Each structure stands twice: as C-alpha cells, then as structure tokens.
Amino acid sequence: MGPKSKDSEIHNLNNSTESESHYGHTEIDVDKLENETESSDPKEEKIQISVRERFVWIKRACCFHHGHAERTRAYHVWPANNVFFFGGRLICGPDPRGLLLTTFSISLSSWVFAVYIGHSALMITFSLILTALVFVNLFLVSTIDPGIIPRNVQASIEEEEEQEGNNDQTRSMRIIVNGVELKQKYCRICKIFRPPRSCHCAICDNCIENFDHHCPWTSQCIGLRNYRFYMTFIFSAIALYTYIFAFSCRRIQKIIWEDENGFLGALSNCPETLAVAAFSVTAIAFLGGLGCYHLYLIAKNQTAYEYFRQRFADSGNPFDKGVFKNFKEVFFMPLPPSRIDLTRILDE
C-alpha cells in the first residue's frame, strides 16, 4: 500500500468520522490511529496495518449503508409531531399510550376467552378470527395517512408576514359548493388555505382533509383516508366483545346452576369470566353508542367536527348526497392517494 493510497484512506476515514459524529456515533481520533500505524516494530506494524485495513473495510461498509439506507428522507425532517416506522411507510400519532392500552385490552380479553371460556377448538378459532379482524382494522386506522394536507414550504417570509398581519376577514377565502357559500381559512402553521371540511389538529400538528376528530384510543387523527377503517374497527370490536360476552354469560350461568352458593360460587370459581364479561358489556355499550352516532353522521355526510361546530345548521349541508350515496362514499369508493410521500429521498 503506497503513501498516496494511505493518505487517501485516512482522508476518507476523517470524512467518515465527521459524518458519523453528526449522527451521534463515537468520534475516532484519526491522528492517533495514524501515529499508531507508524510503529518502529515490523511485527507490531504488520498487526496494526491489518487492523487498520479491517477498520477501513468496516468504514466503507458503513459509508455504503449511510449512503443508501440512511439517506435523509422526507419523514426525517417532517415538521409535525408524528412518529414514523419502516422508513416512513407507517405514520402514527405522537402519543402511543391510548393505542397501547387498546391493544392490551383486546389481547387480554381474547386471551381470557381462549384459556378459561372457550371449551372447543371451534369456539377458540372463531374468537381468534374476530380478534385478528379487529387488529387488522386497528393497524390500518392507526398507521396510514389519515389525509394529511402538505404544508406550503415554499411560502416566502414576506408572504408569511403578510398573512400574519392580515385580519380575520382577509385571512380567508369564500367558495361556492353546490350553491352553498363556504369559507376557506388560512392556516398560519401550514401556510395554506385549508380545503373545505379540513382542520388543523393541535395534537398531530397537521391539517387533515375531512377531519373528523383525533382519536385517543388509536392515537391517530381520523380523516378522509382512514375513516372507513375506523368504522370497521368499531363494528369488528363490537362483534368480538358480543361473542365474548355471550359465552361468558353461558359459563357463568352454568356455574351458578351447578354451585349451591349461586352467584357467590361463580364469583369465587370464575372471577376472570365475570371480569371479562363486565368489561365486554362496557365495551359493547361504549362502542355501540359510538358506532350509532357515526352511522347517523354518515347518513348525513357530516363529520363529528362539523356536527360539533354546527357548520351547516343555517345553510344546509352541501355535501349530503342522500343516505345510500353517503354510505357508498364512505365504505365502497376507492380511497384517494396520499398527498404526501414520506419515503422520498430529499435532494442533497
């Protein structure tokens, strides 16, 4: 290995260590490494050169990894509060506690049923199918883009200051939708005029198209692109807990009939069944009420946010197409493509 090759490798090593320190890795003293390799002992020099060559190979491998797998992508510099997984392919809300609690409660209920209540392979298999259906819908509603509207990152400082200085009247636009005048508000965070039915979520810090609400139990905004899965999650969970509750009551009734102490005997012999039955009926009541409320909103083609704010109380809802077409729009129309590409490699 000639002097030129050696200097070149040390120069590349120096550049690599600077790049690694930028990403939080341990910095390496290149001068010290160079001095150590210039030992007067031939045997020691041979060993140190071998170590240095191996280190250079590892460095090159890391550089290859850094140059391809660790390139700066759009989700690395995303300005909102979302959390990303699998290279930006999955997008979640900033607080996972609600999602973890939901996942834990469903898993525990299904486990108790399979271990203590299900007395046949067919019963357990059907409960596992329902549980899988619930988790698939929960995964979809909590990890896909709910309808995020891209920010106007090209807005100049002058335009931003101009909008900041405007009053409420000039910070909005008026448009006509099916004969009804609607107001498009300007979002000072995203620097855009929001489309109708959209709203800026203070938790996720995004403007969401067809914003319904931010669901704490899925840790995600509910909007245009995941509302369908939110509804299927609710009704699949109702089906699961109805199934668990029915067979829990059957087991409790059987124990009461067989035990001379009646309900007290059931309380001592199957406390886990009583607990899961009580939780199931609570979940059915909560999810059932929530599901009926959203079915009512779908029939009117209205979001929960619009209903809460009474947006169309005076003018009428310009988006109402009739009950049949409203349900078709939510459950059967193709989902619009995402407006954001979080896996995109940014220009260097």
Point out the least confidently predicted range of 71-85, 89-103, 181-195, 262-276. Answer: 262-276
pLDDT at 312 over 80: yes
Question: CA 344, 81, 224, 319 torsion: positive or negative?
Answer: negative
- State percent of the chain over pLDDT 70: 72
pLDDT at 159: 60
Which residues, in sequence order, are bridge partners of residue 83? 92
Please give the pLDDT value at position 313: 78
Under DSSP, the state recorded for 94 is S
Sheet holding 180-187, edge to edge: 172-177, 180-187, 192-193
Classify 176 as helix, strand or coil.
strand
pLDDT range class, residue 57, cuts 50, 70, 90: very low
Which active-site residues does the annotation give? 215
Per-residue pLDDT of 168-179, as tens digits, reads 555 778 888 888
Residues 174-228: tens digit of each pLDDT: 888 888 888 889 999 999 999 999 999 999 999 999 999 999 999 999 999 999 9
Q: Mean pLDDT for the chain? A: 80
Q: What is the mean pLDDT of residues 75-84?
A: 92
Angle (deg, nearest 10), helices 227-258 and 271-300: 150
**What residues does each domain of the chain span?**
3-70, 81-149+212-331, 157-208
Q: What angle do CA 108, 112, 116 make, to 5 degrees?
A: 170
Reported as a single tens digit per residue, the pLDDT across 116-132 is 998 899 999 999 999 99
CA dist., res. 164 & res. 265, Å (int): 69
> Strand, coil or helix: what is 80?
coil
Residue 31 has pLDDT above 90, yes or no: no
What is the CB neighbour count within 10 angstroms for residue 58? 11
Give the pLDDT score at 41.
55
At residue 132, φ and ψ (nearest 5 deg) are -65, -40
Q: pLDDT value at position 277?
A: 94
- Quick one: which of 273, 243, 277 has its CA closest to 122? 243
Structure tokens at 181: 């005048």
Which residues, in sequence order, are bridge partners of residue 345? 73
pLDDT at 165: 57
CA-CA distance, 100 to 106, in Å (whole number)? 10
Q: What is the pLDDT of residue 42?
A: 52
Task: Give the lowest-confidence range in 244-248, 310-314, 342-346.
Answer: 310-314
Task: Supply the pLDDT for residue 26.
Answer: 38
* CA 105/CA 208 separation, integer angstroms: 28
Query: 39: closest CA among 55, 28, 50?
Result: 50
Give how far Cα 180 sits from Cα of 132, 176, 346, Å.
44, 5, 41
Least-confidence region, from 38-42, 119-123, 142-146, 150-154: 38-42
CA torsion angle 188 189 192 198 (round to 10): -100
Residue 348 pLDDT level (bands cut at 50, 70, 90): low
Local confidence band at 62 (pLDDT 50, 70, 90 cut-offs): very low
Does 158 score more than 60 pLDDT?
A: no
Contact 152, 191 (CB under 8 A): yes
Q: What is the pLDDT of residue 164?
A: 56
Q: Please check whether residue 243 is in contact with residue 208, taking contact to mean a CB–CB distance below 8 angstroms.
A: no
30 pLDDT tier (thresholds 50, 70, 90): very low
The pTM is what? 0.75
Residue pointed to by tokens 């009541």: 285
Task: Average the pLDDT over 310-329 and give the result.
Answer: 90
Q: Which residues contact 347 (CB under 8 A, 6 or more apart)?
A: none
Closest to 301 (Cα-Cα) out of 290, 289, 312 = 312
How would DSSP label each residue in 27-65? P--HHHHHHHHS-S-HHHHHHHHHHHHHHHHHHHHHHHH
